[in-house]
Structure 1
Amino acid sequence: MWCASVLFTLLTTFRLPGEMMPAQWPAAQLYRWDGLVFLLLSTAMAIQGGRLLHRRPLLATALTILAAVFETITLGVAGLPMAQYLATMVALYFVAATHPRRTALIALAMAVGTLIAYIAIRMLHNWIVSTSAELAVALVTVIVWLLGSSAHQSRVHAERLSAEHADRAVTAERLRIAREMHDTVAHSIGIIALQAGAASRVATAHPEAAMTAMRAVENEGRQTLAGLRRMLVALRAADAGQDPELAPAGLADVDRMAATTTAAGVRVEVRRLGEARRLPPDIDLSAFRIIQESVTNVVRHAGTRACRVTLDYRDDELALEITDDGLGRGSSSDTGFGLAGMRERVALLHGEFTAAPRPEGGFRVTARLPLPVAVR
């Protein structure tokens, strides 16, 4: 942008085809050594300002403003031209769109204040002032800032909606799991209590009957544990018609979830390795929930704009990896419900789970879920 504005300014000092005279008479120093020095200095400041936009936005904005002022000195004009201020406007849009509102307001004050100061200094010296042209530059500058601020508000709103949707989904999931656990566990525990009571009453007089009752207790306990491991997916399927949003999810929904998150501002890259195949409902649901919770953590805590999801279908297990290049918050000993819930899901399936910051920056979540022999 800076190079284009400089080239445009230089072209205006020549008589182009169809013109009687140049659109702008050049100052004497424009083509002298001192003019070239100012041109090189202003170009260096504009380039450095572009490099610092991410880390130090206010300093970057100040450098682009100074570059415009230094370049204007060699033109001998009555105000800061629109072309010389284009780089500042682009920097101002970026600051307003990607940084907090306070920082954006300071950058706007710097940009508009420079225009006012430039006119005031020329008026104090009784020099010619192009007030109308400077008003146009100031108006365009404010409009550019408003566009950047609108983009920032839209992104913040989308992130807020995404976080609220994730919170509602987590709450609904917990309520559903609690209800399903109550329905199954209450029945099973009631049977176990009756069998255990019967065994205690006949343990002395009828040991064979007591053994039969205890075997029934053992069998019922095993069935209950199997039901808990599968998170009662069968009940989810039965209730799917009552509430579509709470229908059983699985790895087939990963792409849809990735698209929704990407639309909200955090790009999710999904990569699949190996041969995809149908998995048992408990593994399919748990794998999806681990990915969903990990991506939610990236959106809410990582402070990054992208993450990567890898699904590796191996011969005897399903391996998941979710990585990002963000702030790396959290640790393998984190006591938050997100990591604890993922760890519990993997433990129920006799898998392996890790969650820790990456040495190169960011955070990594991995899970290995063993597959039944029938699936292998």
Structure 2
Amino acid sequence: MALARARRQLTAHPLALDSALAAGVLLCMLAGSFVDPHSGHTVSWSVRTPDPLSLLLMTLGAVALIFRRRAPMTVLAVTGTLSVVESVTGDPRAPVAMSAVVALFTVAATTDRPTTLRAALLTMTALTSAAMLAGPLPWYAQENLGILAWTGIGATAGDAVRSRRAVVQAIRERAERAERTREEEARRRVAEERLRIARDLHDVVAHHIALVNVQAGVAAHVMDKRPDQAKEALAHVREASRSALNELRATVGLLRQSGDPEAPTEPAPGLDRLDELAGTFRNAGLLVEVARADYDAKLPAAVDLAAYRVIQEALTNVQKHAGADAKAEVSVVRVGPHIEITVLDDGAPGSEEAPVTGGGHGLLGMRERVTALRGTLTTGPRYGGGFRVHAILPVKTRTRTAEDPV
């Protein structure tokens, strides 16, 4: 733990880290300058003492390493020059080339591979040639070959560090991209869910408000002359408003979070409530006939809800646009692997024109529902007057994905 804390602190202060590295390299060069590897013992201290020029060159090389992150190529040039000077002037020579090796490591770790290769070849050639050709030792001495080996090791180690950093960075970027992709997918799913809930809200509100509007108009019309009929109409208004509130509560309840208080909900409506739906429109004065030949087929929940909403929206449009004396016909037929929904109205004379295909949010919502289940929806005026809504829904279906063609 203490080591990790110290490492974080040094990483946060690179100049202090480089200064400590420069001091360590200087100590190593000073220690190496006092050792005579050719003595009879393994290590012999105080056999030779570096001259003042060698001490100056070692100090300058170490100081230059403090700026290795800011100007790696410049530091490599300075330390390489100091190493060449030491090779041709000092005897016994101090290991100034150690600073050049560290500088070459920094260049390899902070630049690309071609730059590393060029810098390594130039440094190895310059230092080794100076030591072999101008140094006091024979060209084949192990110290000269050691310079060649250590410069190669410095360049190789720096390139390995750079490659590892690149791999780690690539892994981090892939992880970030994957995280962004997951977030975008989550946002897309949230948007789709909001659109579905918005369609439900539109269908519910449009249906019940249309009924409330009609019944309130009837009540106002017969209030003075036929109070019993006005009372019945107001009862229908109350029933429609209660149903609207219940469905709104159930739909908006989908937006609650897991920690929110529970709210009363009810199952999503389906074709099993078709007679009840038709009854609400009959109570509002719309003549509705229902014909079914679906053999009580068990439908997936999404298909059952979509069929119910299509009929509900179509009858609501009839109620709003076809006039008070209009007549609507609803048919539900099972045809092979599909179920067909048809809603027709006769378009009573003098009524408003029914909405054309694609107009209004109701038809758009129906089309989105059917298309999401890979079904088809056809809407348009009928020959001779009226309007027709025809939907074909697959009994076994899957929702459309982002990869499916539109």
Output the TM-score relative to the length of structure 1: 0.46
Which structure would you say has the larger Rg? 2
